[in-house]
């Protein structure tokens, strides 16, 4: 598209021989816990990031030890559902390799941290045995496809859920290098069968995210995805999908060319074939038109804006060979998970468990393992980093309830805590500028008394924190958003709505904890004094500080 010099990552992808690079040699290098520099890029495509324990850097250097490198591995679980046997495997693998912590992500999957290099192959092999993989869970490809996680909320959940798997499979890279490098070892795959008409040898310019929402719940934050599909339901039947393109939250501090953007609905498709076709061709447009020189400006949102929404839609219709229909009406009225027991239309029971910031606590992990041993349920990851024990027959409900009681799983958390979300950040995420997952619970504990003071303890104000401006914790679509700028320092974001339909904006920059608490106290006071009838906190702050009225 442009004559600008390609970013170095582009060369690494093209020369990677189907994402193989020098990974086999890297795994054998005995002097380092890391892989070779180019392979650091390639492991992402296989679902891993190299991380190092940043808390340990200085002291290890003193000890003449290299950085404490380890790998995060993230599974590809389209729609977030695994069965009980798979949970058992996941549990066992996490006990054997890595830190032992299961982390549920904001994209409806789970990741293990702290895998050492020599543990990668046995880990992936064990996952493979359990029919789980980490292909394309990271990297410049379509990532894990998310779907509203609540079968109990909508009778068409199963129907929509199947789209996640179909889309994920459709958009998988064709290379078999994952199996060659990590599973079978020496077996060499036939390269001619690896021809990839979608990704070719260059893959996408940047990561690509797809989410599918089933109204009335926008738990997936559908507009934060590169492609958002909104299920259109009439008379309890699935009619098709509104298609939205160009969502994405990440920005770069100090780079005014970067911005958060919510996806724009460009039309409606009414059959599976047309929907899949449209999704596929959005990727080919991004492949061909996306910015490959500057990775900070490479997401689909910039491509859409450069082409204009109208121009993008025309190019898409040219590629799919049919016109998109008019957008259909939809309404989102919730985004949080529905905690506790609920029953779906077919009479099955679902228990939604609160897992703060997705970090499964040891007693929760033990509880879940016991549940999985009963083999009377499945397990559903939610995009709010929680977990649902699902598809429980009425006669089995009591067995699970007994375990819930035994492990004291049912806790009475405040509305704001149940509406909180944080990314991993320090010490492992290489991008983090500030704490998130380790700190947000503490901050919430300090905000709870303020809510009580103003008599609004029940309010489910959404509060989200990310350690850097990349927005994995989706803090740009929160009522109280915190974006890390440096150690102990955050940009305070206000004006987002409760259901993920409006981005927030910077209210104050670089605040420390005390300033955050003072500001919050003051804002809550203004809110209780000045709110209109039924006005939610995010709508109030938007009206007060950002609307032109």
Partner 1 sequence: MLSENKLTLLQQLVANATDTEIIWTNGYLTGYLEAVKGTTTAPSIPALNNAEPKVTLKPTILYGTETGNSKKAASSLHAAFKKSKIQSKSTDIVQYSVSKLEKEELLLFVISTQGEGEFPLNAIAFYEELVASNIKLDNLKYAVFGLGDTSYPLFCNAAVLLNEALQEKGAESILPLVKSDVDYSEEFANWQQQLLNLLQNNSTAITVSEAPVKTTVPHKKDYKGTVSHKVILNDHGSNKQTYHIEITGDEDIIYEPGDALGIIPKNSYESVIEIIGYFTDSPDRKVTFKDKTDTLLNWLTQLNIKGLSKKTLSSIGELLGVNISYEKADLLDVLIENPVPVNIKIESLLELLLPIAPRLYSISSSAEAHEGQVHLTVNLNRFVANNKVKTGLASQYITDIPKKGEIDFYIHRNNNFRLPDADTDIIMIGPGTGIAPFRSFLAERDITGADGRNWLFFGEQHFTLDFYYQTEIQEWLNTGVLARFDGAFSRDQERKIYVQDRIRENAAEFNQWLLDGASIYICGQKAPMSLDVENTIIEVIANERSIPVEEAKQVLESLELEGKYQKDVY
| 24 a catalytic residue | no
| 138 a catalytic residue | no
Q: Which of 44, 335, 365, 423 is catalytic?
A: 423
Which of 63, 187 has the CB closer to partner 1?
63
- Please state whether beta strands 69-74 and 48-52 pair in parallel, antiparallel, or not at all (unpaired): antiparallel
Token pair for residue 498?
């409760």
Q: Which of 13, 44, 74, 117 is catalytic?
A: 74
Instruction: Determine the number of helices (DSSP H) and then strands (DSSP E) in the chain.
Output: 17, 19
What's the closest the beta carbon of residue 66 comes to partner 1, in angstroms?
5
Query: Count of CB atoms within 10 A of residue 395's CB?
Result: 8
Q: Which of 13, 287, 429, 498 is catalytic?
A: 429
What does the DSSP 8-state code read for residue 111? E
Q: Which of 76, 107, 209, 261 is catalytic?
A: 209
What's the closest the beta carbon of residue 68 comes to partner 1, in angstroms?
6
| 20 a catalytic residue | no
Q: Which one of the spans 56-64, 241-249, 494-502, 527-535 is the region binding partner 1 (CB under 8 A)?
A: 56-64
Token pair for residue 76?
């590809």
Residue 60 interacts with partner 1 (CB under 8 A): yes or no: yes
Q: Which of 31, 190, 193, 331 is the binder for partner 1 (CB under 8 A)?
A: 31
Picking from 102, 144, 92, 101, the residue whose alpha carbon sits closest to that of residue 122 is 92
What's the closest the beta carbon of residue 118 comes to partner 1, in angstroms?
6
Q: Which of 2, 58, 63, 186 is the binder for partner 1 (CB under 8 A)?
A: 63
* Alpha-carbon gap, residue 317 to 313, rounded angstroms: 6
- Residue 143 dihedral angles phi and psi, to the nearest 5°: -85, -170
Q: Element (H or E) spanning 89, and its range?
A: helix 84-96
Token pair for residue 91?
């549990």
What's the closest the beta carbon of residue 284 comes to partner 1, in angstroms?
42
* Alpha-carbon gap, residue 138 to 141, rounded angstroms: 7
What's the closest the beta carbon of residue 30 comes to partner 1, in angstroms?
4
Token pair for residue 164?
């996640």
Q: Which of 138, 335, 418, 472 is catalytic?
A: 472
- Please state whether beta strands 489-494 and 505-511 pair in parallel, antiparallel, or not at all (unpaired): antiparallel
What's the closest the beta carbon of residue 53 comes to partner 1, in angstroms?
10
* Alpha-carbon gap, residue 104 to 109, rounded angstroms: 6
- Rg of the chain's alpha carbons, rounded to an integer? 23
- Residue 485 dihedral angles phi and psi, to the nearest 5°: -120, -20
Residue 64 interacts with partner 1 (CB under 8 A): yes or no: yes
Q: Which of 15, 25, 37, 61 is the binder for partner 1 (CB under 8 A)?
A: 61
Q: Which of 65, 131, 402, 452 is the binder for partner 1 (CB under 8 A)?
A: 65
Residue 187 interacts with partner 1 (CB under 8 A): yes or no: no
Q: Which of 44, 103, 117, 143 is catalytic?
A: 143
Residue 56 interacts with partner 1 (CB under 8 A): yes or no: yes
Q: Which of 66, 162, 288, 317 is the binder for partner 1 (CB under 8 A)?
A: 66
Q: Which of 6, 12, 27, 116 is the binder for partner 1 (CB under 8 A)?
A: 116
| 510 a catalytic residue | no
Residue 357 and residue 366 in contact, taking contact as beta carbons nearer than 8 Å: no
How far CA 449 is from CA of 228, 446, 457, 463, 517, in Å, comes to 37, 6, 8, 15, 11
Picking from 385, 389, 432, the residue whose alpha carbon sits closest to that of residue 409 is 389
DSSP-based helix, strand, coil % in the chain, nearest 5 = 40, 20, 40
Residue 118 interacts with partner 1 (CB under 8 A): yes or no: yes
Query: Could you say which residues in the range 273-292 bind partner 1, by CB under 8 A?
Result: none
Q: Which one of the spans 57-65, 125-133, 249-257, 350-358 is the region binding partner 1 (CB under 8 A)?
A: 57-65
Which of 30, 362 has the CB closer to partner 1?
30
Q: Which one of the spans 25-33, 183-191, 315-323, 501-509 is the region binding partner 1 (CB under 8 A)?
A: 25-33
Picking from 429, 396, 409, 416, the residue whose alpha carbon sits closest to that of residue 479 is 416
Residue 71 interacts with partner 1 (CB under 8 A): yes or no: no
Q: Which one of the spans 64-72, 243-251, 308-316, 350-358 is the region binding partner 1 (CB under 8 A)?
A: 64-72
Give the residue numbers annotated as catalytic, written as ranges: 74, 143, 207, 209, 423, 429, 468, 472
Q: Which residues bind partner 1 (CB under 8 A)?
A: 30-33, 56, 59-66, 68, 116, 118
């Amino acid at each position: 598209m442009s004559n600008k010099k390609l970013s170095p990552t582009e060369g690494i992808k093209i020369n990677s021989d189907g994402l193989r690079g020098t990974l086999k040699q890297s795994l054998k290098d005995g002097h380092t816990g890391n892989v070779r520099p180019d392979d650091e890029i390639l492991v992402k495509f296989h679902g891993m990031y190299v991380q190092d324990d940043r808390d340990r850097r200085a002291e290890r250097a003193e000890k003449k030890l290299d950085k404490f490198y380890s790998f995060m591995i993230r599974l590809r679980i389209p729609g977030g559902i695994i069965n009980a046997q798979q949970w058992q495997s996941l549990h066992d693998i996490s006990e054997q390799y890595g830190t032992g912590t299961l982390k549920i992500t904001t994209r409806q999957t789970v990741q293990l941290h702290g895998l050492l290099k020599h543990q990668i192959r046995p880990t992936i092999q064990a996952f493979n045995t359990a029919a789980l993989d980490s292909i394309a869970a990271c990297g410049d490809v379509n990532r894990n496809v998310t779907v509203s996680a609540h079968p109990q909320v909508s009778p068409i959940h199963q129907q929509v859920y199947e789209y996640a798997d179909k889309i994920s499979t459709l958009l998988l890279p064709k290379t078999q290098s994952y199996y060659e490098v990590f599973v079978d070892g020496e077996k060499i795959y036939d390269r001619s069968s690896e021809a990839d008409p979608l990704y070719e040898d260059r893959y996408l310019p940047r990561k690509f995210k797809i989410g599918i929402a089933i109204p009335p719940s926008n738990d997936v934050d559908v507009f934060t995805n590169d492609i958002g599909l909104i299920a259109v339901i009439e008379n309890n039947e699935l009619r098709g999908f509104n298609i939205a393109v160009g969502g994405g939250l990440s920005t770069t501090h100090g780079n005014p060319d970067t911005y958060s953007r919510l996806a724009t609905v460009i039309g409606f498709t009414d059959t599976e074939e047309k929907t899949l076709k449209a999704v596929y061709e959005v990727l080919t447009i991004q492949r061909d038109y996306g910015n490959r020189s500057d990775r900070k400006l490479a997401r689909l949102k910039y491509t859409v804006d450069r082409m204009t929404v109208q121009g993008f839609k025309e190019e898409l219709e040219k590629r799919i060979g049919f016109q998109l229909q008019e957008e259909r009406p939809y309404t989102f009225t919730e985004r949080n998970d529905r905690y506790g027991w609920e029953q779906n239309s077919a009479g099955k029971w679902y228990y939604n468990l609160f897992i703060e910031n997705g970090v499964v606590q040891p007693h929760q992990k033990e509880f879940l393992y016991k549940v999985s041993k009963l083999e009377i349920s499945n397990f559903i990851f939610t995009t709010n980093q929680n977990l649902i024990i699902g598809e429980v027959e009425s006669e089995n409900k009591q067995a699970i309830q007994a375990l819930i009681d035994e492990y004291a799983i049912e806790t009475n958390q405040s509305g704001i805590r149940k509406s909180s979300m944080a990314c991993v950040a320090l010490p492992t995420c290489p991008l983090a500028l500030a704490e998130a997952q380790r700190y947000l619970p503490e901050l919430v504990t300090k905000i709870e008394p303020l809510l009580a003071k103003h008599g609004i303890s029940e309010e489910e104000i959404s509060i989200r924190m990310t350690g850097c401006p990349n927005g994995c914790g989706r803090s740009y679509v929160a009522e109280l958003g915190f974006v890390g700028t440096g150690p102990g320092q955050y940009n305070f974001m206000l004006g987002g709505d409760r259901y993920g339909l409006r981005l927030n904006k910077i209210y104050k920059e670089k605040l420390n904890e005390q300033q955050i608490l003072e500001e919050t106290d003051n804002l809550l006071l203004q809110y209780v004094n000045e709110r209109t009838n039924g006005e939610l906190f995010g709508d109030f702050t938007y009206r007060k500080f950002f609307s032109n009225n």
